[in-house]
Amino acid sequence: MDYSILTNIAMGIALSACAGFRVFIPMLAGALAGHFNIISLPNDMEWLSSWPAIACFGTAAVAEVSAYYIPFIDNLLDTIATPLSVGAGTVLASSILPIGDQEPLVRWGIGFLAGGSVAGTIQMGTGLLRLFSSKATLGTGNAIVATTENAAALSISALSFFIPVVIALLVIALIVWIIVKLTKRFSKKPVRV
């Protein structure tokens, strides 16, 4: 078995999941990893490892992390971050998954299914958690949620390059947990009076 393929798949899934916590931290991590040849990018994705891309992702990451500490602005950011996280997860997965020689439609389709769906599921879970926190604490507890998400995005992004299979398995377990919780929450039958 070729373990490099398994490693790349796990790395793509793990980095894509980070896009569900923060959009630009994993994009910055992927750009730096490509620039310093930790990962090899397909020819049409070389722009990701350029200095202008690194500068843009770094600036956007700082702005995004900072903005999530402003109560109720963070809820507004979640509505913007949801489609962005799916896009970032798709870009990361299609640039890291070992499908570089495939037809672009196949590569982007697999990137969307593997990366975009993972990022979207994580983003949906964190968005609902922040909404609950906003309702329960009038926005004051959102700083704790933001700090946890920032720590998850930074640590998972970094660990994705060192122990990608373990991180991918943890991400998959988290996604299953989110889906089970959401299914239980929204499948409860209303009580008739």
Name the residue ranges covered by the structural domains of the chain. 3-186
Region 66-73: mean pLDDT is 88
Residues 88 and 27 sit within 8 Å (Cβ to Cβ): yes
Once rounded to an integer, what is the mean pLDDT over residues 68-97? 89
Q: Is residue 46 scored above 70 in pLDDT?
A: yes
**pLDDT at 102 (0 to 100):** 65
pLDDT at position 101 is: 62
Quick check: 31 and 49 in contact, CB under 8 A?
Answer: yes
pLDDT at 29: 95
Determine the average pLDDT of the residues in 39-64: 93
- Rounding to the nearest 10 degrees, give the CA dihedral for residues 181, 132, 84, 114: -10
Instruction: Reply yes or no on whether the pLDDT at 168 is more than 70.
Output: yes
pLDDT range class, residue 67, cuts 50, 70, 90: very high
Digit-coded pLDDT (tens) for 23-42: 999 999 999 999 999 888 88
Q: What is the mean pLDDT of residues 157-181?
A: 89
pLDDT given at position 191 = 54
What pTM did the predictor assign?
0.86
Distance, CA of 92 to CA of 138 (rounded, Å): 35
Flag whether pLDDT at 154 surpasses 70: yes
